[in-house]
């Protein structure tokens, strides 16, 4: 329905001049909010020492930076089709391997990675077939005991973002296409790609304005809601997080 090439090219051009995603989100008012997001992805990936980690749609690499800060000796790869955010990643004070490529055509050999994170990037691919094909390829890239963690916008929390409440250009930024997932279609697309879904959870349950006042306590409380009250988190969480393995 959406012209894949045109929609993605518009997004790529937008991302070339986008506000540094990491700076906007980690260093400013949404610091705690982002710590919750990155901590959830890190924990559910189950990253161990010296593993190969790939962040698909990494932008300027805020997740890779987070993994690096854990000092676990992991080898960090980030892929994005926008060149400028990757250049910013290169200026950061840690070693990573940025790859400028389209995630629909990934330039890696099968079985290369222990852990793959796709943080708010799959939702921007404007075709169900392409999203499933990307997930299939991710499955091939993963080692036998590897894991994949995906985060996407939760349709329940963001339905005003696009005109029909499900998919299309953002009302506030028409260069960006978003597909708004609910837990069922997220699970369904992952399974159609031949991967096993271990769990789908909601994350980022507490609004930013409360987190600013509560700091670490709020972070702890938010992480607990996602872990202990999955039903509540699927309704309240701003994002959905899926934990996947190879079958
Ligand atoms: C919402 S941003 C998220 C960035 C990053 N994952 C984070 O959380 O900080 C989505 C990213 O996906 C990238 N992206 C979208 N479609 C892509 C594609 N087909 N191939 C590679 N990167 C893509 C965009 O350039 C953008 O940097």
What CATH number did the domain enclosing 225 receive?
3.40.50.150
So what's the pLDDT on residue 21? Answer: 52
So what's the pLDDT on residue 18? Answer: 66
So what's the pLDDT on residue 29? Answer: 58
Which among 146, 98, 99, 155 has a CA at the least distance from the CA of 123?
A: 155
Contacts of 69 (CB under 8 A, 6+ apart): none
Please check whether residue 129 is in contact with residue 192, taking contact to mean a CB–CB distance below 8 angstroms: no
Mean pLDDT by 10-residue block, N- to C-terminus, for the chain (247 residues)? Answer: 86 79 52 92 98 96 96 97 94 96 96 97 96 98 97 92 92 90 97 98 92 89 97 96 96
Tell me, in angstroms, the distance from the centre of ligand 1 to residue 14's CA: 11
What range defines the domain where residue 9 resides? 4-246
Residue 233: both structure tokens together: 């988190």
Instruction: Give how far Cα 4 sits from Cα of 86, 129, 182, 208, Å.
Output: 23, 11, 22, 33
**Segment 117-141, tens digit of pLDDT:** 999 999 999 999 999 999 999 999 9
Q: Which of the listed residues 31, 35, 59 should we mutate to test ligand 1's pocket, taking the one with most ligand atoms within 8 A of CB?
A: 59
Tell me, in angstroms, the distance from the centre of ligand 1 to residue 213's CA: 30
Please check whether residue 239 is in contact with residue 215, taking contact to mean a CB–CB distance below 8 angstroms: no
- Residue tagged 């260069």 (tokens): 175
Write down the pTM of the prediction: 0.94
Task: Detail the DSSP E strand segments found in 82-233.
Answer: 97-100, 113-119, 142-153, 167-169, 177-179, 195-203
Q: Structural domain tally of the chain?
A: 1
**Degrees (nearest 5) of the Cα angle 116, 136, 179?**
80
Tell me, in angstroms, the distance from the centre of ligand 1 to residue 121's CA: 5
């Amino acid at each position: 329905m959406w012209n894949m090439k045109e929609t993605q090219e518009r997004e790529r051009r937008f991302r070339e001049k986008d506000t540094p995603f990491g700076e906007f989100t980690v260093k400013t008012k949404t610091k705690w909010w982002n710590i919750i997001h990155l901590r959830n992805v890190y924990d559910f990936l189950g990253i161990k020492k010296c593993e190969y980690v790939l962040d698909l749609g990494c932008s300027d690499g805020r997740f890779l930076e987070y993994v690096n800060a854990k000092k676990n000796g992991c080898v960090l790869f980030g892929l994005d089709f926008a060149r400028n955010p990757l250049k910013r990643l290169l200026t950061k004070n840690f070693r990573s391997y940025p790859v400028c490529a389209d995630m629909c055509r990934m330039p890696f050999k099968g079985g290369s990675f222990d852990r793959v994170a796709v943080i708010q990037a799959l939702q921007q691919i404007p075709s169900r077939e392409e999203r499933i094909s990307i997930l299939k390829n991710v499955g091939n890239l993963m080692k036998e005991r590897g894991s994949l963690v995906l985060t996407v916008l939760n349709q329940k929390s963001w339905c005003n973002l696009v005109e029909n409440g499900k998919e299309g250009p953002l009302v506030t930024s028409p260069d960006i296409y978003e597909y708004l997932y609910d837990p069922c279609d997220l699970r369904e697309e992952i399974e159609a790609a031949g991967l096993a879904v271990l769990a789908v959870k909601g994350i980022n349950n507490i609004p930013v304005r409360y987190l600013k006042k509560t700091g670490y306590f709020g972070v702890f409380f938010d992480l607990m809601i996602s872990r202990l009250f999955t039903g509540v988190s699927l309704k309240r969480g701003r994002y959905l997080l899926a934990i996947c393995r190879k079958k």
